[in-house]
A = this chain, B = another copy of it.
Amino acid sequence: MGRPRSFEQPAVVAAAMDQFWSRGYEATSVRDLASAMSMTGASLYNAFGDKRSLFRHCLDAYLDTYARRRIAELDASEDPISGIRNFFDDLVAASLKDRRGCLLVNSAMEVAPWDPEFAELIEASLREIEDGFYRALERLPAEPNRQPYQDIRTTARLILSAVISLRVLARAGGDRDRLCSIARSAVALAEDGHRAGSNTVIPD
């Protein structure tokens, strides 16, 4: 069986994830990673293959720890509207406390354009989040003072786009007002239904 490992995989992956999250993929060196993980470079390569594979582990861990956790809470919410409101309350609070933004969105910008495999994973993950909003909107009963949704899928996409811009502005240093404005508009979108779609944009 050989010599046992002196590190715990979840802990060192979390440490690596923090580095990628803060600095991005390119700007994080293997030595930065090894230092943050309290490992030597040789152990890192032995355990994870290379920098790219380690990043894959980190992205998976991020999705399980953060993104899917929030979606699961949304699915478990009794009232979909308050579920979405809680989602954004949590998102705004977390984004103000931690200015690194969202590893998934950061990677969509930096990694996806140059790595088709990661692009596919990121696209699928964004779709997972979108689907979470879709399921929440589906659960909404028709109410007299709410307009019927023109297209639940479109509304879910708009709520996802609110998440994205909120995360971008959070990383870029946007203040509380900006983040709350976006969060409020996303919640209002879910509450009121939306009237977008009546005017075509770019028919070609």
Contacts and interface: CB of A to CB of B under 8 A. Distances in A.
Interface stretch (A3-11, A56-64, A69-77, A107-115): A107-115
A12 interface: no
Nearest to A107: B172
Given A162-B161, A165-B164, A172 B112 contact: yes
Quickly give the copy total for this chain: 2
Given A162-B165, A185-B196, A201 B26 contact: no
A172 B108 contact: yes
A180 interface: yes
Q: Is the interface of A mostly helix, strand, loop or mixed?
A: helix
A194 interface: yes
A92 B201 CA distance: 8
- Interface bin, chain A: 35 or more
Interface of A: 23-24, 26-27, 85, 88-89, 92-93, 99-101, 105-106, 108-110, 112-114, 119, 122-123, 126, 154, 157-158, 161-162, 164-166, 168-169, 171-174, 176, 178, 180-185, 187-189, 191-192, 194-202, 204
